[in-house]
Chains A and B, each alone.
Chain A
Amino acid sequence: TQTVSQSDAHVTVFEGDSVELRCNYSYGGSIYLSWYIQHHGRGLQFLLKYYSGNPVVQGVNGFEAEFSKSDSSFHLRKASVHWSDSAVYFCAVRVTGNTRKLIFGLGTTLQVQP
């Protein structure tokens, strides 16, 4: 069974701070990892993805994430957050095979204070 764990339900930082949102997964095969952002009352929007190659991937709005096979992690980072980054962030895993389902974590609510 594949699982995605986002250890922090809520993270609060100040504008201009750096932030790291943690994501760990359990699966031994080839996987596709992604992060999505959900602003209040909206659908999920794609931030970035990793499938192979450089373990550090760049996404939209200054976000990046680093894949670590040894740690089974795909943490999301941003060097300097803006108040508009306040949202819920979801990590997702898609396993290879006949299914295309994404398995999501419970999400981390990021609150950026002025």
Chain B
Amino acid sequence: DPKIIQKPKYLVAVTGSEKILICEQYLGHNAMYWYRQSAKKPLEFMFSYSYQKLMDNQTASSRFQPQSSKKNHLDLQITALKPDDSATYFCASSQDWGVQNTLYFGAGTRLSVL
């Protein structure tokens, strides 16, 4: 049973549109993260949250907005989509925000922007 659920698994969008990527974790963790994996690039950190509070934002564009409606949810809203946004987006969580905590990743949402 996957403990971190990401929906949808695949997503196709047109340039200029808006999409929301869903992430729910059932590990009882207090910290959640978003990472992006683009072709030919390393996995890239985007955001970290702890107890639903934004702790770290390494995403330059305001088009990417995380949303945490519940402690175990961290959705990612992307507006004004561009082809360069095409990537696999991974949600992750850890017990808390401690530096030694292990990250657990979801299976990802593969976004294609046409």
Interface residues of A (CB under 8 A from B): 4, 32, 34, 36, 41-46, 49, 51, 90, 92, 94, 96, 98-107
Contact = CB atoms under 8 A, between A and B. Distances in A.
A46 B104 contact: yes
Contact of A51 (B41, B92, B100): B100
B4 A43 contact: yes
Contact of B56 (A51, A92, A98): A98
Given A46-B103, A107-B42, 17 more contacts: A32-B99, A43-B105, A43-B106, A43-B107, A44-B90, A44-B92, A44-B105, A46-B102, A49-B102, A51-B100, A96-B99, A99-B48, A101-B48, A102-B43, A103-B45, A104-B43, A105-B42
A16 B100 CA distance: 33
Nearest to A97: B99
A1 to B, nearest CB: 13
B107 A102 contact: no
A83 to B, nearest CB: 22
A100 B55 contact: yes
Interface residues of B, number: 27
B48 A49 contact: no
Interface of B: 4, 31, 33, 35, 40-45, 48, 55-56, 58, 90, 92, 94, 97, 99-100, 102-108
A104 B37 CA distance: 10
Contacts of B33: 100
A49 B100 contact: yes
B10 to A, nearest CB: 11
A68 B92 CA distance: 28
A106 B42 contact: yes
Contacts of B92: 44
Given A43-B4, A102-B45, A104-B43, A32 B100 contact: yes
19 contacts: A32-B100, A43-B4, A43-B105, A44-B43, A44-B92, A46-B102, A46-B103, A90-B43, A92-B43, A99-B48, A99-B56, A100-B48, A100-B55, A101-B56, A103-B42, A104-B42, A104-B44, A106-B40, A106-B42
